[in-house]
Structures are given as C-alpha cells and as structure tokens.
Amino acid sequence: MGTCADHIVHYETLDEAGRRIVVPFFHPTLLVLSEYFDNITNCFIKDIRQRLALSRRVGHLYQRYIPTQQLIVWYLNHPVRRIKVQGCVVGYGWHRQAGVDWMFLHIDDCTGLMWCQCDEELAGEATALVGRTVAVSGYMNPTGRIDRPSELYLVVEHLEYVVGLESEIQFWEVTMLFRRQLGYVWELGPDLLNGLYSARRKAAVEADGAPRQAPTSESNCGDDAASCKSLQPAASIEGSAYVPCAPVARAATTVTVRYTMNQYKDALLAYFFDCAGQQQVPYRRPLAEVLVLSQILHAVALTRRGEHDAFSAGLEKTKALLYDSVLAQFCTMGVLSLEGSDQIQLHLLPVKEHIVARIDTWLKLHVRAGKLLYHQVRSTCGLPQMSAPFIVNLTKVLLRQHISQRTELVDSWFLDAKSEERGYLLVRFNYINSRIC
C-alpha cells in the first residue's frame, strides 16, 4: 500500500442490481483520477443512504488522505466527495456547536429526507425557505450514526433557489445520468497501469544507481492522469451537467454517459414517425442506413454484448438481436407489423395525427395542462393493445418533435403520467408569455 504500484488495496463483494460482483478499491493516491473525486455529483438522498454502510466500512483505508470532517460516499468503487441534492424544504431547526448556532434544513427530494447544516448567512431567513425548492451542495458529515438518521447530515457549502420547472427537471435528468454511470465499476485502463508500474520500476532502478530522490506515488499518478478514463466509449454531455467544485471552472469539464435502450427506442420511434406517411419501410434501413440510429445502437451493443450468452457472437450479431427485440416490442403494441422478412408495415399515422392535433389545440389556446385519455388514444387509433407506458412514450417523442418547432411560444414542458387505473396523462406547458388559460 506504500506506492501507486500497489494499486488495489481492498476488495468488496457487493450485491448490485440482483447480482454479486467483486469490486476493487484503489490506492488512495489514485482517487484523484476519478472524474467524481474533485467534482460535485448530483445524487438522490435514497442512494446516499443506501451506500453509507459501505462508505463507513472502507473509510478507514483512506483516513490518512481525506480530511477527517469529510465522508466519501462510495458508489461501488467511485469516490464521491461532494454531493448535490435538490428538494423541497419541509422543515428547519437550530443546533449550537462550539459556540456557533447552525441552521439545519430538512430537505425532501421524494426519495428520502436529509438534514442539511447551513451557515445562517448562506440560508437567510429560515421560515422563508419552507415550502421552496432548493439545491444544496457540500459533503457528508462522517460523525453521525447510520442507525440515527437525524445525525447524518450534509454540510452545505452552496445553496441556491430552484426557479422554474425546467431547471428542476434538468436536475433530475442529470441525476439519472449520473446514477446510471455510477452503476458501472470504475476500472483503470491498461495504459495507465502499465505507466504506473513502469514508473515504479524506473524509480527503483534510478534509486539503486544514483543517490537521487525517487518520484513520489502522487507524481507517478499525475503523469498518467489523462489515460485513466477506461469506461466504454460513450457520448459526452457538456455544460451544466457537471458542476465544478472550485470557483473557477475547468477547461474541459464533462460527464460521460452511456446510451441506453430507452434512448434507442425513442430515436427509432422518432424515425418511424417521420416515415408515418409511408406504407412500408425496408426492414434493414433503420438498422444500417440511418446514421444516428446506427451510432446509438452501436454504443448500446458495446455495453450489452457481455450480458447474455446470445450476445457473445460478435458486435454485429448483438446489434441485430437488439434491433429485432425492439421491433418485436413495437409489433406487440400494434404500431407496426412485419411484411415478410424485408418490409416493415407502419401503423403510426393515426397515432401521430391524433396526438399532434391535441397538442396543437392546447398550444393554440395556451392551455397550461392538457389531458390525454389512454382509452381515447386506443379507440381513435384502432390500437387497443397499446399499454399506458407506451402511449406516454409515444407522446413524449411527438412532443420533442413538435415543440422544437414552437420555441417562440413554449419555454418548457413536462409529462405528468398517471397510472392505467387513473386512465390519463397530463402535459404541462410553461409558455414564454403570460397569457395562460
């Protein structure tokens, strides 16, 4: 454990997503290579609480390197030091520590509750915060006991009011992206490890041959920091998705995100909606001839081919299997059918016309919340087999296509999907002007 060459200091066997995996924990001086170590990470309160037991269990390995007042929250072996949560302030209290009065806000993000310690100057008037949505960032207090939730709190370094539904939704979307990314074990790339071991051997040779100081483990790590991103190839999301901890933003602050099958399904539905006026589409065209669809499916296949025996035949076979499975799902919903083995018969035009007509009516009247009945969509379009979640997904795809052409009118929109039993979904609009019915 004395050098970077001893890069794994501990193993943990964890249950994650219904499977048992062995997770390596790296030497403390390597933690700076993690993209989460020095940046603020959006989190759900429930996820933080679920990971506190592991965080305490492995925390002793890093006590010499991390400030004692900060608790690293471990998502598998990803070290998350600074956390950002967003929620409604449902209460507040005061506590005196070392002669200083601290305000504690009780925040609910719909996944759990957490106390957050704030400086009075930072939070302002406590009573004015109750009922408001805020975003707070800071680090977890390491002294509280896990069996006493009131002693586990976030030490707030920054607090901001969340203004507008668009900002709130953007936070949740980014948090879900972080959550998916943190579900993969962090691995160090072969190039980085080779560099670390080579630097170690070189330092040992130089130390034997001349009375010079060997490079420290930290300097060895820093030389190879650029090659540490060993996750699967993925797209990048720029900008506010990653909030730097330091006041001055880094030159290239990004968060990498894997494409998912849901993203591919949305993109494929959007393509089929564009082709809704055609009776048939060649079966292979969306798979191989549409660049955007091909790129997304390629990225998904890279991460999926090791998950099932059927995906072990190669990348192209994996892509074909994934594509076939999506089309089979669409067929069960009735929105398309297969004509032989080389043509796709589309039945999306009635769906598109019905939903787009409703959207146009809502926008024309500046309706703030439009209601779409599931049974009405099924009966009007002649597709009784469509499930409520699938109707919600169709509506989401059409909203993205349609609202993108109405940017002068609509600032943002939000889908409030109800259950099958309640029988409808609401589309909520925020208009640029204030004339709302």
236-250 residue pLDDT tens? 323 333 333 333 333
What pLDDT shows up at residue 237? 28
How far is it, in rounded angstroms, from Cα 255 to Cα 38? 13
Query: Both tokens of residue 186?
Result: 């962090």
Is residue 199 included in any domain, yes or no? no
What pLDDT shows up at residue 290? 81
pLDDT mean over 134-155: 72
CATH of the domain at 337: 1.10.10
pLDDT class of 144 with cuts at 50, 70, 90:
low
Average pLDDT, the chain: 77
37-89 pLDDT, tens per residue?
888 999 999 999 888 888 888 887 787 777 666 788 999 989 998 999 999 98
Is residue 191 included in any domain, yes or no? no
What pLDDT shows up at residue 297? 86
> Phi and psi at residue 112, in whole multiples of 5°?
175, 175
Residue finishing a domain among 165, 183, 201? 183
Based on the fold, state whether residues 68 and 35 are members of the same structural domain.
Answer: yes
Residue finishing a domain among 183, 215, 240? 183
Based on the fold, state whether residues 285 and 377 are members of the same structural domain.
Answer: no
Is residue 189 included in any domain, yes or no? no
Q: Smallest Cα–Cα separation from 151: which of 112, 119, 104?
A: 104
Is residue 207 included in any domain, yes or no? no
Based on the fold, state whether residues 13 and 158 are members of the same structural domain.
Answer: yes
Do residues 118 and 141 make contact, with C-beta atoms less than 8 angstroms apart?
no
Is residue 213 included in any domain, yes or no? no
Based on the fold, state whether residues 44 and 96 are members of the same structural domain.
Answer: yes
Based on the fold, state whether residues 361 and 285 are members of the same structural domain.
Answer: no
Is residue 148 included in any domain, yes or no? yes
Indicate whether 384 pLDDT > 80: yes
Task: Estimate the crossing angle of helix 261-274 against helix 291-304, to 10 degrees.
Answer: 160
Counted domains in the chain: 3
> Phi and psi at residue 374, in whole multiples of 5°?
-60, -45
Based on the fold, state whether residues 67 and 176 are members of the same structural domain.
Answer: yes
Based on the fold, state whether residues 40 and 156 are members of the same structural domain.
Answer: yes
Based on the fold, state whether residues 109 and 163 are members of the same structural domain.
Answer: yes
Based on the fold, state whether residues 57 and 132 are members of the same structural domain.
Answer: yes
Based on the fold, state whether residues 48 and 133 are members of the same structural domain.
Answer: yes
CATH of the domain at 79: 2.40.50.1040
pLDDT class of 430 with cuts at 50, 70, 90:
confident
Indicate whether 411 pLDDT > 80: no
Containing structural domain, residue 99: 8-183
Indicate whether 323 pLDDT > 70: yes
Based on the fold, state whether residues 353 and 421 are members of the same structural domain.
Answer: yes
Based on the fold, state whether residues 168 and 65 are members of the same structural domain.
Answer: yes
* pTM for this entry: 0.46
Is residue 192 included in any domain, yes or no? no
Is residue 424 included in any domain, yes or no? yes
Phi-psi region of 24 (alpha: psi -120 to 50; beta: other; left: phi over 0): beta
Residue finishing a domain among 183, 202, 227? 183
CATH of the domain at 407: 3.30.1370.230
